[in-house]
C-alpha cells in the first residue's frame, strides 16, 4: 500500500503507463468526469467531455468503460480515415464524450468541450497546454467552467501548478476600477516605494507611468499624470517577474 501515486511510482516497479491502463484507475477518473459533466449539462445541455488516451488500443479500452456506464462516445485517432468528419459530426450532435489519440490536442475546435479526462502518457508542457486549451474555449455565458481530471503524477502536478498561476483572474485581467486622483508627486513616491521603478513616457502613452502598488503582489496600475488613474491590470507571479525584468 502506498500513500500517493508519487510514492507508488517512485518506490515500486509500477509504471505510469501501467496505471493509465488499469481498469479501476480508468473507472475512477471517468466517474469524476461524468459527475462533473452531469452538473455542467444542467446549465449547458450540449456540454461534452474529452478523454485523451495513450494509443488506439487504450482508446477502445476507455470506450468500453464508458459504454459500460451507459455513456455514448466517439473515437478519433490519427489513424481514423474520416477523422475530420467524426469531429465535425461530434461538434453538433448530442453525444457526450469523444476519445482522442493525437487529434484533439492539435488545435481542433470543439467549443462545447468542458470536461477532460487526461489519460495520455505524454507529460510535456506543450501537450498539456494544448489539451487544456480544448476545454477552455467558450461559446457564451453558460459555459464559464472547464475541468481537467488527471492522476496526481509529479510531473503533471508540476505542470498544473505552473499553469494555475497563469489562468484568468490572475493573468492580465484588465478591468476598470475607481481610484482616488493622484498628483505627480504622489505618483513619484509610489513608484519609488516599488524598488525605484521609473515611469515610462510614450511606451504606454504620453505622461503615463507603470506603477506597482507597494505591498501588493502582481498588481499593476496604469496612471496618467494629468488625470486620475483609470485601469488596473493583474498579472500572475510568473508574468510579473518577466515584466519586472524588462525595467
At residue 131, does pLDDT exceed 80? yes
User: What's the CA gap between 229 and 216, in Å, rounded?
Assistant: 17
- What pLDDT is recorded for position 111? 85
Residue at which a domain ends, from 113, 142, 164: 164
Look at residues 105, 136, 164 and tell me which one is the last residue of a structural domain.
164
pLDDT at 236: 60
pLDDT at 235: 54
Least confident among 148-152, 159-163, 206-210, 228-232: 206-210
Q: Which residue has the higher pLDDT, 121 or 184?
A: 121
CA 218 to chain centre: 20
Examine the domain organization and report whether 185 and 153 are in the same domain.
no
pLDDT tens string 13-46: 999 999 999 999 999 999 999 999 999 999 999 9
Query: Average of pLDDT values for 156-178?
Result: 63
> pLDDT tens, 45-58?
999 999 999 999 99
Q: 97 and 31 in one domain?
A: yes
At 160, the pLDDT band (50, 70, 90 cuts) reads confident
Higher pLDDT, 247 or 119: 119
As a whole number of angstroms, the distance between CA 129 and CA 59 comes to 21
DSSP string of the chain, one letter each residue? --SSHHHHHHHSS--HHHHHT-HHHHHHHHHHHHHHHHHHHTT-TT-EEEEE-SSHHHHHHHHHHHHHTT--EEEEETT-TTHHHHHHHHHHS---EEEEESSGGGT---TTEEEEEE--S---HHHHHHHHHHHH--SSTT----EEE----HHHHHHHHHHHTTSTTTSSEEEE-------HHHHHHHHHHTTTPPP-SSSSSTTEEEEE-TT-SSEEEEEETTS---EEEE--HHHHHHHHTT-
Q: What is the pTM of this model?
A: 0.67
Q: In this predicted structure, what is the pLDDT of residue 198?
A: 38
- Whether 59 shows a pLDDT value over 50: the answer reads yes
Whether 52 and 141 map to the same domain: the answer is yes
Are 141 and 207 contained in the same domain? no
Higher confidence at residue 168 or residue 84? 84
Distance CA 247, CA 242 (A): 10
pLDDT reading at 105 higher than 70: no
Average pLDDT over residues 219-239: 50
Confidence of residue 161 (pLDDT cuts 50, 70, 90): confident
**CA 20, 23, 25: angle at the middle one, nearest 5?**
55
Same domain, 156 and 200: no
The angle, 0 to 180 degrees and rounded to 10, between the axes of the packed helices 125-136 and 154-164 is: 50
> Do residues 159 and 189 share a domain?
no
Residue 70: exposure state from Cβ atoms within 10 A (0-12, 13-18, ≥19): exposed
Domain count, the chain: 2
Task: Name which of 138, 228, 214 is nearest 176 in CA terms.
Answer: 228
Query: Does 159 lie in the same domain as 91?
Result: yes
Q: What is the mean pLDDT of residues 53-65?
A: 96
Q: Are residues 78 and 154 in the same domain?
A: yes
User: What is d(CA 166, CA 168) in angstroms, rounded to the nearest whole number?
Assistant: 7
Domain that holds residue 158: 5-164
Residues 87 and 25 in one domain: yes
Task: Summarize pLDDT for 193-219 with one digit per residue, the tens.
Answer: 333 333 333 333 333 333 333 333 444
Can you say how many angstroms the Cα of residue 53 is from the centroid of all Cα atoms in its chain?
A: 18
Q: Using alpha carbons only, give the angle 225, 226, 229 rounded to the nearest 5 degrees.
A: 65
Same domain, 126 and 14: yes
Lowest mean pLDDT among 67-81, 88-102, 124-138, 213-227: 213-227
In the predicted structure, residue 192 carries a pLDDT above the cut 50? no
CATH number at residue 58: 3.40.50.300
Q: Are residues 65 and 100 in the same domain?
A: yes
Amino acid at each position: 500500500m502506498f500513500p500517493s501515486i508519487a510514492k507508488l511510482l517512485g518506490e515500486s516497479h509500477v509504471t505510469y503507463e501501467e496505471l493509465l491502463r488499469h481498469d479501476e484507475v480508468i473507472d475512477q477518473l471517468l466517474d469524476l468526469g461524468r459527475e462533473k459533466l452531469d452538473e455542467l449539462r444542467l446549465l449547458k445541455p450540449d456540454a461534452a467531455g474529452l478523454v485523451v488516451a495513450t494509443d488506439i488500443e487504450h482508446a477502445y479500452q476507455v470506450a468500453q468503460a464508458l459504454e459500460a456506464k451507459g455513456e455514448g462516445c466517439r473515437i478519433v485517432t490519427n489513424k481514423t480515415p474520416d477523422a475530420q468528419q467524426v469531429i465535425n459530426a461530434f461538434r453538433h450532435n448530442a453525444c457526450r464524450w469523444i476519445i482522442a489519440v493525437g487529434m484533439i490536442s492539435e488545435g481542433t475546435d470543439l467549443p462545447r468541450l468542458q470536461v477532460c479526462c487526461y489519460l495520455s502518457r505524454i507529460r510535456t508542457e506543450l501537450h498539456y497546454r494544448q489539451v487544456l486549451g480544448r476545454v477552455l474555449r467558450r461559446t457564451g455565458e453558460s459555459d464559464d467552467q472547464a475541468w481537467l481530471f488527471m492522476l496526481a503524477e509529479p510531473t503533471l502536478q508540476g505542470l498544473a501548478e505552473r499553469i494555475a498561476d497563469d489562468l484568468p483572474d490572475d493573468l492580465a485581467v484588465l478591468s476598470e476600477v475607481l481610484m482616488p486622483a493622484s498628483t505627480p508627486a504622489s505618483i513619484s513616491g509610489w513608484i519609488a516605494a516599488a524598488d525605484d521603478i521609473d515611469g515610462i513616457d510614450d511606451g504606454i502613452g504620453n505622461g503615463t507611468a507603470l506603477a506597482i502598488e507597494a505591498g501588493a503582489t502582481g498588481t499593476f496600475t496604469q496612471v496618467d499624470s494629468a488625470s486620475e488613474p483609470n485601469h488596473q491590470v493583474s498579472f500572475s507571479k510568473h508574468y510579473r517577474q518577466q515584466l519586472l525584468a524588462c525595467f
